[in-house]
Chains A and B, each alone.
Chain A
Amino acid sequence: MDETIVKTEEQEFLEEEICVAENLVYRRPKTLTDLDLHYCPGCGHGVVHRLLMEVIEEMDIQDKVIGVAPVGCAVFAYNYMNIDMQEAAHGRATAVATGIVRVLPDKLVFTYQGDGDLAAIGTAETLHTCNRGENILIVFINNAVYGMTSGQMAPTTLPGMVTTTSPFGRDVNKMGYPLKMTDLVAQLPGTYYVTRQAVNNAGNVRKTKKAIQKAFQYLQQKKGTCFIEVVSNCPSNWKMTPVESNKFVEEKLIPFYPLGDLKSPKEETK
């Protein structure tokens, strides 16, 4: 057989000078599966999925982590996250996570839930899980609208905001006020770390990643419930371009849902 080594296109590409470790700015973490995301262009879900999986890869905890997917746009999260996962009924993710972490207390369990799932149908489970201080991370994606069912009013929809079920804008006298779940759970002694972040620009993305890293470290130390709200967007149901939607996050959502830690451990505060 001929001794000549035939290089694949990929190998040749990798051997080009520019592709050296110090120039690498992004690669797909091995904890993400090689599937195209079903999310709409510009949606924040993909970013948060990646951040979670990056942290899990960097902390080398893939064999320790068990995720719980919600009902909502992220219902298929387990298709993309290369970790053990359970798909919960609508709103019940934190109860499912409680069941897992109680029987596997050394595992790092997280839920990934939207605003309808966590703050409407799952309100009781969310509050009681936080109140028991279950050693889990709750990732709460707040984009102020029901995404999967295509644009109905969410518990976090802003006053005056138009959705398919508040076509003339959310009238708080008839439809109630936006529910600030993160502020609520921060009051409970069971929560250890409660923060609100966003993924609308690169700086906020980095801060969100930092929050996820901290939360997993706290889980390793069995500190209690960690709660990260991520203020996100929904270009499709807001009927905006991705850029417009990120602007809406900046100008409308963040002023109503201000970013930052609502409860951070004492040793962290300087």
Chain B
Amino acid sequence: MGELRLMKGNEALAEAAIRAGCDAYFGYPITPQSEVLEYLSREAEARTGMVVLQAESEIASINMIYGAAGAGKRAMTSSSGPGLSLMQEGISYIAAAELPCLIVNVSRGGPGLGTIQPSQGDYFQAVKGGGHGDYKLIVLAPSSVQEMADFVRLGFDLADKYRNPVLILTDGAIGQMIEKVELFEQLPKGGTYQKPWATTGKTKNRERNIITSLHIDPKEMEKINLRLQAKYREIEEKEVRYETVKLEDAEYVLTAFGLGARICKKVVELGREKGYKIGLIRPITLFPFPKKLFADIAPKIKGILDVELNAGQMVEDVKLSVEGKTRVEFYGRMGGIIPTPEEILEHFEKIFLKGE
């Protein structure tokens, strides 16, 4: 068994970065995730020699990630909604140049400056590609402090494996809550993936390495797009992750990610006590989305209630996945309001059982 600790989500994430062998973290303070930069500034350099640098902006930090990842190192940044908006240009470049790295969004309520309370309003930005052009991030959605730690390691591995940026989409509640976490052992710095493409200085025995996303010839540019799309299809085939609760005999299915799913587990419990046959699907990878699971279950159930802390974003992917084969309803709260299990259950009863 690994080391057990009582930790804040953001701190568990930072600790996991050190343990996952992260070489460099570049970040800019923003609530509700500043503990990541603070924790790493305190701990990281002395323990592993990891580089930790407070950048002048999120624009600078994402481009520092580009440089460090292009140099073949495990690089990471974290921020919250407004900071992620600033990073979108850099993320598009990183995805296009196929640089492995880890980006974390401890999201808050928007739009605009919004609120520092938790929200899931950045789903579209994370999953649909908030920057320009056709690209995809691998998006992981933790729903506990344990997963805040575990997904850092998983994220770096997926990033290196596919040469693709990975985004952890979490929120202020998971980032700030304190829970028991079992920490994995210290891994070698930099990970174990070979990166012969990295810019480390051209030696006599190899051609020069160039990191770029510029391909002015449209034929060449389309070829690169096709290669990227083939990679995304492979990721969709091999990397779908989800959790299910009491799905076997379920007549109705709740679906939610991250914090929403945590609340919905309680809804399933309360509903089952009242005799309702309800279950839960929690997508863990938001891209790749568990399309097949939804498609398979749709004809066997009476309906799906999608619950999110936003105006209804993941629900579009649920609807696309079930292709009209079951009824899909939505319940959401916005602006930093966290719904209670009771109000969700009440809404479920209203629309599915009382037919309102």
A residues bordering B, Cβ < 8 Å? 62-66, 68-69, 75-76, 78, 82-89, 92, 95-100, 102-104, 107, 124-125, 128
CB neighbours of A100 from chain B (8 A) = 67-68, 70-71, 199
CA distance A62 to B202 in the complex (A): 6
Contact call A96/B70, Cβ cutoff below 8 A:
yes
Can you spell out 21 A-B residue pairs with CB atoms less than 8 angstroms apart? A62-B202, A68-B67, A78-B210, A84-B208, A84-B210, A86-B70, A89-B66, A95-B59, A95-B61, A99-B24, A99-B63, A99-B68, A100-B67, A100-B68, A100-B70, A102-B24, A102-B51, A103-B51, A104-B200, A124-B60, A125-B59
| B interface residues (Cβ-Cβ under 8 A, vs A) | 23-24, 26, 51, 53, 55-57, 59-61, 63-71, 73, 75, 89-90, 93, 97, 199-204, 208-214
| B23 and A103 contacting across the interface, CB-CB below 8 Å | yes
- Which of B23, B59, B66, B73 is within 8 Å of A86, CB to CB? B66
Please judge, given known A-B contacts A78-B210, A82-B208, A83-B202, whether A99 and B56 are in contact too, CB under 8 Å: no
Task: Determine which of A62, A78, A82, A86 lies in contact with B67 in the assembled complex, contact meaning CB atoms within 8 Å.
Answer: A86
Given the complex of chains A and B, what is the CA–CA distance between A63 and B63 in angstroms?
23
Q: In the complex the two chains form, is A89's CB within 8 Å of B200's CB? A: no
Whether B200 lies near A87 (C-beta < 8 A) is no
| Distance, CA A178 to CA B59, complexed state (A) | 25
Given contacts A88-B66, A98-B64, contact A63 B210 (CB under 8 A): no
Given contacts A92-B60, A125-B56, contact A86 B68 (CB under 8 A): no
CA distance A64 to B204 in the complex (A): 11
Closest to A97 in B: B67
Name, among B56, B90, B199, the residue most crowded by chain A CB atoms within 10 Å (CB to CB). B199
**Which of A87, A98, A103 has the largest number of chain B CB atoms within 10 A?**
A103
Q: Which of B65, B75, B202, B203 contacts A82 (CB 8 A)?
A: B202
- Nearest CB on B from A269, distance (A): 31
Question: Which listed residue (B57, B201, B203) contacts A107, Cβ 8 A?
Answer: B201
Main secondary structure of the interface of A (DSSP, over half): mixed
Contact check, B63 vs A85: say whether CB atoms are below 8 A apart.
no
Which 7 A/B pairs are nearest by Cβ-Cβ distance? A99-B67, A99-B64, A95-B63, A87-B212, A84-B199, A96-B67, A99-B68
A125 — nearest CB in chain B belongs to which residue?
A: B60
Smallest CB separation, A239 vs chain B (Å):
25
CA of A99 to CA of B71, assembled, Å: 8
Q: Bound complex: CA of A102 vs CA of B23, how far in Å?
A: 10
Q: Is the CB of B202 within 8 A of A84?
A: yes
Known pairs A83-B201, A84-B200, A128-B56 / 6 extra A-B pairs, C-beta < 8 Å: A96-B70, A98-B53, A99-B24, A100-B70, A102-B53, A124-B59
Q: A101 CB to closest chain B CB, in angstroms? A: 8
B200 A107 Cβ-Cβ under 8 A: yes
> Which among A69, A86, A92 has the greatest number of chain B C-beta atoms within 10 A?
A86
Contact of A87 with B51 in the complex, beta carbons under 8 Å: no
The CA of A83 and the CA of B202, in the complex, are separated in Å by: 6
**Shortest CB–CB separation between residue A121 and chain B, in angstroms?**
10
C-alpha spacing A65/B212, complex, angstroms = 17
In the bound complex, CA of A63 to CA of B90 (Å) = 27
Name B89's closest neighbour in chain A (CB-CB).
A89
Contact B212 A95 (CB under 8 A): no
Q: How far is the CB of A19 from chain B (nearest CB, A)?
A: 26
Most buried by A among B26, B61, B73, B201: B201
Select from chain A the residue with minimum beta-carbon distance to B69: A99
Q: Which residues of B contact A102 (CB under 8 A)?
A: 24, 51, 53, 64, 68
